[in-house]
Copies of this chain bind each other. A is one copy, B any other.
Amino acid sequence: MSAHDTTPADPLFAATPAYGRLHRLQSRLHRLNHLVSIAHWDQAAMMPAGGHAARSAALAELQTQIHREGIAPEVGHWLAQAADEPLDDWQRANWREIDLQWRRARALPDALVERRSQLASACEHAWRQQRPANDWQGFVQQFKPLLAVVREEAALLSDHLGLSPYDTQLQQFEPGARSQDIARVFDEVRTWLPGLIQAARERQAAEPVPVAPQGPFPVAAQQALGLDVVRWLGFDLDAGRLDVSTHPFTGGVPEDVRLTTRYREDECLQALMGTIHETGHGRYEQHRPRAWLDQPVSRARSMAIHESQSLFFEMQLAGHPGFAAQLAPRLQAALGAQPAFEAGNLHRLLTRVQPGFIRVEADEMTYPAHILLRFDIEQALLAGQAEVEDIPALWDAGMQTLLGLDTRGNYRDGPMQDVHWPAGLLGYFPCYSLGAMYAAQWMATLRREQPEVEARIAAGDLAPVMDWLRDRVWSQGSRWSTDVLSQRISGETLNPAHFRAHLTRRYLS
């Protein structure tokens, strides 16, 4: 058997021996997960295509091992015993997180975990070629077996956890969340979003069109700009990196956070905004509670809270006129001065409302439309109300209704644009819009508590913002449930009125 069941009781845990064993097992799994994370990052950012099969097999082997150790029979006994041990508050919260992941994991046979891992690797790998080729038929072939195993997992978890199949997937990313609550929030957004988009567009149409940046922008210069900006935003490059991947993400481990972005020579703002977005994730990871880094309680609370940080950086901060004024000279220094990089123009570029095909390039006003669409389709797929072949028609109908765009035949910029589905991650998308709403809620709170904060941002002083985020969000890890955390941060649970108020204030006041 693995090391954790034969080791003697740790004197640090003399009064809480069962909890101590859980703690040590988690610490071991944290170390093993470190290697999984680095190999995943490498796969996306460094690995040549020929390395794919061997890498997938290696990752599946270790992930299955981690799964197996996490649900070993003694873990259930330790959890039961530890529940009666004298735990302090952080230990109690850690116990709750371990218990939660154990209840989920023990429902899943090793073979299913391994099969899911391998099918997701294969689908994601194939998608990297299929997307640029607009090869929908090829994608369907890879995605159908992956969806089948995801449905199989969802059915098993549904039985064990008493959740709907969709909610079993959603709760991987947002523990405790229910799709019916999210649907209620999103349905309200549906009522006012198209009107708000139209009003903002009419208003912007009456203003001069912002000057577009003129390329080419050498990749080396954009990379230097990216490093300058992540440093300015407080990301610690001694404990992290910034690299390139097809789909930007934040990976690695809290002690060594790996940000990625992607560059085009003819455009420079998408890469920069992507970098700023990932820096929000990166700072959250770098500031998780250090004393608990090897334990589940130190993890980021949820993906909605994670996205509340990335979108705070990308939308709340980078869309702020004072921030644009600080960013402008950095852009000019790295890429040369040009009219597009004048502060006022830059701000107009960064807040331009314009329906488009691509989620990650969307402005904050049209962004929720991309999420509503995906949320509907994911739910239908998990409920068995739609099949993979139905996606294009659903996609097109949604994009017509929400953004007035015709997407027929354009799979590449339609349902194949994101890595989530090919990677087997259904249930993630809602977290983006929940995150944008939380971000608006945090900013409203911060402005209320520190009325001078906008002047500080405009003066280039980000310290009050960063200190507040560190204190309220990053340092809390998973100490509280999402609802309690939200109340502690802002005095209330999720209140989407702040998001609507933010959009109205920024775009229509």
Contact = CB atoms under 8 A, between A and B. Distances in A.
Nearest to A256: B51
Contact of A256 (B48, B68, B241): B48
B39 A54 contact: no
A406 interface: no
Interface stretch (A55-63, A142-150, A203-211, A319-327): A55-63
Given A28-B61, A48-B239, A55 B256 contact: yes
A69 to B, nearest CB: 10
Contacts of A55: 34, 38, 255-256
Chain A contact surface mostly: helix
A199 interface: no
A28 B61 CA distance: 7
Interface residues of A, number: 42
B2 A50 contact: no
A36 B35 contact: yes
Contacts of A53: 255
Given A1-B1, A31-B58, A61-B31, A255 B38 contact: no
A34 B48 contact: no
Nearest to A1: B1
B236 A50 contact: yes
Query: How many copies of this kind of chain does the complex include?
Result: 2
Nearest to A255: B54
B241 A48 contact: yes
A42 interface: yes
Contacts of A110: 3
A119 interface: no
Contacts of A35: 35-36, 39, 58-59, 62
A65 interface: yes
A183 interface: no
Contacts of A220: 220
Interface string A293-308: 0000000000000000
A302 B61 CA distance: 27
Given A34-B55, A57-B31, A48 B237 contact: yes
23 contacts: A2-B2, A3-B68, A3-B110, A34-B57, A35-B35, A35-B62, A38-B39, A39-B39, A48-B238, A48-B240, A50-B236, A50-B239, A50-B255, A50-B256, A51-B239, A51-B252, A51-B256, A54-B253, A54-B255, A54-B256, A55-B256, A62-B62, A65-B65
Given A31-B60, A31-B62, A49-B238, 12 more contacts: A3-B68, A31-B54, A34-B54, A34-B57, A35-B35, A35-B36, A35-B58, A39-B39, A48-B239, A48-B256, A51-B252, A220-B220
